[in-house]
Amino acid sequence: ATLPINAVEDVLWAFRDRIRDLARDKRFRSVMVFKNHGLAAGATVEHSHSQIIALPIAPKRVQEEVDGAKKYYDYKERCVFCDIIQQEINQGVRLVGENHQFIAICPYAPRFPFETWILPKRHSHDYQNNSKDMIEGLALILSDTLKRVNRVLDTPPFNFVLHSAPVNHHDATNHYHWHLEIIPKLTRVAGFEWGTGFYINPTPPEESARFLREAKI
């Protein structure tokens, strides 16, 4: 949130270029980009940094998203994420911010308080496909969203994770939609969550979105 926009763009370009490079290796099925900010979020190095890991399998969470989106596409012949974006724009109650290329929302059924997603308005299944105007738009909305999170929550520890389609896997082109997930660390995952896979979130997403949307930055 404190980086100048041109520096944020540089980071986002680095994400794209490293994903492209790793995707050329046919051993890899997925490339995961994430950031742990603060001790409670799992950061082990003091200076701010993101991490990238290439995996020989698709992570369970991403694969579940891809499979669920495929079922929706087979039924509706539309991308479920595109439909969500349109619904959130129309309703406005979970909208955090938007620009020409992107939308930031608190999703309908978040796992955590103030969980926020950033999605491209134009359908795109793979972060590798981002162009110059997309990177510029993403830098603006990412910086804006993190500033709002910091203002409302007093600079909390957080994770952000990039979900993009599995690499070397073109079947997801029509039904998957890449996105960034920002998760402030305000609650703890305990026995109930580990035992059931369910999450208890005490803050409705509509309230989280309103606080973030109305924050003075």
User: Which of the residues are catalytic?
Assistant: 49
- C-alpha 139/C-alpha 121 separation (Å) is 15
Question: What strands lie across the sheet with 102-105, from one edge to the other?
Answer: 51-55, 30-37, 158-163, 179-184, 116-120, 102-105, 95-98
Residue 64 CB partners (closer than 8 Å, separation 6+) = none
Q: Tokens for 16, please give them.
A: 């794209």
- C-alpha 106/C-alpha 108 separation (Å) is 7
- C-alpha 72/C-alpha 70 separation (Å) is 5
Instruction: Tell me the CA distances in angstroms from 128 to 38, 47, 196, one per residue in order.
Output: 28, 27, 34
- C-alpha 179/C-alpha 124 separation (Å) is 9
Instruction: Tell me the CA distances in angstroms from 28 to 21, 23, 56, 61, 97, one per residue in order.
Output: 11, 7, 4, 17, 34
- C-alpha 50/C-alpha 201 separation (Å) is 26
**C-beta of residue 66 within 8 angstroms of C-beta of residue 80:** no
